[in-house]
C-alpha cells in the first residue's frame, strides 16, 4: 500500500524515530519570507495527519495527544512542504501561516526571527493593492494605472543610474530602494510579484 508519506516523497521508515523516543523535532518556517515561526514535535501519526490534512499537526508533549496548530485560535499553518535533515531525525516544514503563529499574537514564537524583507515588501504591496487605504501613496500609484507606475519606474531607474555616477553611496542606496519599491508596485499592477522575478533569476542561475 502507498502511504501518504510515500506520495509526498518522505520515507517514514527511514526517519530516526528511536533517537527521540518516537518524536522528531520540527522547525516551521513561513514559506513566503522564510522567517522561523516555531519549533514543535511530531510522531508518525502527527506526520501522517499533517500530510493528509495539509495543516501542520504536532504531538503535544504536555497534552499527550495530536494537536493541530490553530485548532482553537483558527491561526492554522497551511502546509507547503516537508524536508528531512541529513541525519533523518529533524523535519523542516514550510507553511503559510493564517494569522500570528505565537500565542502572544506575534508572527513568530521567536521575537527577533529574521525574514526576507523583500518578501515582506511584496506582501505589503499586495495588501495595499487589495485594500486601497485612502491615505496610502501606494494606493495613489495603483489608482494612477500601469502607465503612470511604469513612468515612475523609469524615473527612478534614471535617478539610480545618475546617483551611481555622480553621487555618494547613501544617495545611490536611497535611489535603489525607491526603484525596488516602485518595481514591486509595477509588477503587482500586472498581477506579478518580486517573488516571480526571483524565480526567473533562480532558474537562470540553475541553468548557467
154-181 pLDDT tens trace: 999 999 999 999 999 999 999 999 999 9
> Cα separation of 56 and 41, whole Å?
11
Q: How far, in Å, CA of 189 to CA of 72, rounded? A: 37
Range list for CATH 3.10.20.810 in the chain: 4-97
CATH number of 4-97: 3.10.20.810
pLDDT higher for 126 or 11? Answer: 126
Predicted confidence (pLDDT) at residue 1 exceeds the cutoff of 50: no
> In the chain, pLDDT over 90 holds for what percent of residues?
92
Report whether 32 contacts 15 (CB < 8 A).
Answer: no
What fold characterizes domain 117-207? Helix Hairpins (1.10.287)
State yes or no: pLDDT of 148 exceeds 80.
Answer: yes
Cα 118 to chain center, whole Å? 10
Average pLDDT of the residues in 115-140 = 95
If you average pLDDT over residues 112-128, what whole number do you get? Answer: 94
For position 165, what pLDDT does the model report?
A: 98
Tens of pLDDT, residue by residue over 20-41, are 999 999 999 999 999 999 999 9
Mean pLDDT of the chain: 94
Q: Are 181 and 121 in contact (CB under 8 A)?
A: yes
pTM beyond 0.85, yes or no: no
All CATH 1.10.287.1080 domain ranges in the chain, comma separated:
117-207
What's residue 5's pLDDT? Answer: 53
Amino acid at each position: 500500500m502507498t502511504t501518504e508519506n510515500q506520495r509526498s516523497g518522505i520515507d517514514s521508515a527511514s526517519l530516526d524515530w528511536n533517537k527521540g523516543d518516537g518524536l522528531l523535532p520540527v522547525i516551521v518556517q513561513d514559506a513566503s519570507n522564510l522567517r522561523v515561526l516555531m519549533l514543535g514535535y511530531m510522531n508518525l501519526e502527527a506526520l501522517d495527519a499533517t500530510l493528509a490534512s495539509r495543516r501542520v499537526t504536532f504531538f503535544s508533549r504536555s497534552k499527550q495527544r495530536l494537536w493541530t496548530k490553530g485548532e482553537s485560535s483558527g491561526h492554522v499553518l497551511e502546509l507547503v512542504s516537508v524536508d528531512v535533515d541529513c541525519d533523518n531525525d529533524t523535519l523542516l516544514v514550510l507553511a503559510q501561516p493564517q494569522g500570528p503563529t505565537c500565542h502572544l499574537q506575534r508572527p513568530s514564537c521567536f521575537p527577533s526571527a529574521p525574514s526576507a524583507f523583500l518578501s515582506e515588501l511584496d506582501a505589503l504591496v499586495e495588501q495595499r493593492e487589495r485594500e486601497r487605504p485612502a491615505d496610502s501613496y501606494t494606493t495613489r500609484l495603483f489608482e494612477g494605472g500601469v502607465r503612470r507606475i511604469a513612468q515612475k519606474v523609469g524615473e527612478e531607474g534614471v535617478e539610480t543610474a545618475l546617483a551611481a555616477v555622480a553621487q555618494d553611496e547613501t544617495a545611490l542606496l536611497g535611489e535603489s530602494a525607491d526603484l525596488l519599491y516602485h518595481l514591486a508596485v509595477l509588477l503587482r499592477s500586472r498581477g506579478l510579484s518580486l517573488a516571480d522575478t526571483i524565480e526567473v533569476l533562480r532558474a537562470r542561475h540553475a541553468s548557467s
